[in-house]
Structure 1
Amino acid sequence: MLKLFSSSGGADWLVVFLGNPGPKFAGTRHNVGFMAAEKCEKATGASIRRARFKALTDTVRVGEASVLLMKPQTFMNLSGDAVGPAARFYHIPPERVIVVSDDVSLPLGKLRVRTKGSAGGHNGLKSIIAALGTEGFPRVKVGVGAPPHPDYDMADWVLSTFKNQDAADMDAAVSRAWDAVESYIRFGPEKTMDKFN
């Protein structure tokens, strides 16, 4: 059977785990995408360490699909500089580019799977929308909670770390985020949204 969107080099899907590179950002709210990448590595045996497209990458099989895993190393607001070239090189259409990111509008640990949408104030998503030329790519958003009061600086909030029970809840949430990505690839958006939203 002829495969739609067969790609040069064999990647059918691109999964982008958003975060900021470097030890000072490890474990922060803005880096839940990178935390989900660690869960993906444990679940699949992947090693997301090959430097390509201004990112660290690896390729795994999910069911019948070949999936390029990516952790952009560009800093959050330039994530599209990694995603755009990779999607073009492998001829991966936007509807097969899944982005895992933090979301301050969701309660801590809550997942939301979407097939498309606006950036919602997220600079990483904004950069990817610009690079792909569309809002029509799926995302798995991981709730990191809103700042504790309206005067709290948003940049300080997303660069803060999880404490105590929040850290345990987030550990479970990022595991579920990878499960949601895998489900999306295997079973499609409807079943995945029914299960994880």
Structure 2
Amino acid sequence: MEIKPTIIIGLGNPGKEYQNTYHNAGFLFTDYLNTHQISDIQCQILKSDVYMNESGKFVSKALKKSGAKPEGILIVHDDSDIELGKYKIAFARGSAGHNGVESIIKSLKTKKFWRLRIGIRPIRVVSSKKKVVRKKAIEFVLKKISKKDRGILEKVFEKAVKEIFTTKTTQYH
């Protein structure tokens, strides 16, 4: 199935205290699109102006205002189940526990929209007891993004843009 978004909406939390946090990966992606002036993009680029858990309100208003259908939107958000440096593009999937996406599904009464799920989970660490340590999302989603991780996200954004605007398949990276 081909991705042809008419609207790209970045999710995150408004306010200075949330700027440059992992949870605002959707905002950072829209900033990337706006600052890199990518010529292939022929769609509206929006940032939600409501808190993550209320994203459905913003998306619903944006669709009504533009006349777009849910199938024509690309929702960009953080995903704490995907490792930093990776992403997934998905269509018509459940929220997987992401409250912002759940809010959108409830508001639109459909799952039939595109999602760019940007991985923010720290790379797993092996403890001294040879166990893999998996941090809980609450431990990192609202933390400020390090300079190193910001560079990793920029590379993810670059790859995702190339895929969204040049291919017809849904893949995992």
Q: CA, structure 1 residues 147+161, in 2 after alignment: closer, same or farther (shift >3 Å)?
A: farther
* 1:171 alignment partner, one of 148, 154, 157: 154
> Quick one: which amino acid aligns to residue 8 of structure 2?
V
* 1:36 alignment partner, one of 29, 49, 59: 29
What's the CA shift for 1:24? 1.2
> Quick one: which amino acid aligns to residue 137 of structure 1?
F
Cα deviations by residue, 1:1-31 (Å, 9 ceiling, x for unpaired): xxxxxxxxxxx71111111112211111101
User: Does residue 1:121 correspond to 2:97, yes or no?
Assistant: yes
What's the CA shift for 1:69? 1.3
What's the CA shift for 1:71? 0.4
What's the CA shift for 1:168? 1.9
Q: Which has the higher contact order (CA 8 A, sep 6+)?
A: 2
Contact map agreement 2:121 2:137 (CA 8 A) in 1: no
Aligned to 2:144: 161
Following TM superposition, the consecutive aligned residue runs of length 4 or more in structure 1 with deviations greater than 6 angstroms are none
Once residues 163 and 11 of structure 2 are traced to their aligned partners in structure 1, the CA distance between those partners, rounded to angstroms, is 16
How is 1:51-70 mapped onto 2 (pairs within 5 angstroms)?
A: 62=41, 65=42, 67-70=43-46
What's the CA shift for 1:147? 8.7
TM-score by length of 2: 0.81
Give unmatched runs, 5+ long, in structure 2: 125-132
TM-score by length of 1: 0.72
Give unmatched runs, 5+ long, in structure 1: 1-11, 46-59
What's the CA shift for 1:81? 0.8
User: Does residue 1:138 correspond to 2:114, yes or no?
Assistant: yes
Percent of aligned pairs sharing the same letter: 25
Q: CA RMSD in A?
A: 2.4
> Quick one: which amino acid aligns to residue 59 of structure 2?
V
